[in-house]
Structure 1
């Protein structure tokens, strides 16, 4: 894993939290499609708030996974 230090990406230093956010955004889009097919959305009152909560949860899980990787 990349650890919690800034990563040099083509000459631009990017914080790992930004990389985790992008990865979480991709994972959230996939999870949202799966939940649409299952039909969970009929139980959700505010869809945008639910999507934001999933994005925040996925981002925090990715950051915690980076922390546990030990770098």
Structure 2
């Protein structure tokens, strides 16, 4: 029984760590693509486009912060 609890706790920690890694990678890719597009083109993106991207990143990073706090509680 104790072994099953340990396995579940390990699986929960791995799942949280995988989610953290996935979201950090996604945020880094989005930031890189946006920076590349802005640097390559002379075209200016609309304020709505930039606001939407930054809003998306902010929401993703906020949920990432929650995941880190969950992970710290498990340790």
TM class by shorter chain equals 0.3 to 0.5
Task: From the two aligned structures, give the one with the greater strand fraction.
Answer: 1
Q: Which has more radius of gyration?
A: 2
* TM-score (structure 2 length as normaliser): 0.40
Higher helix share: 2
Task: Give the TM-score of the pair, scaled to structure 1.
Answer: 0.42
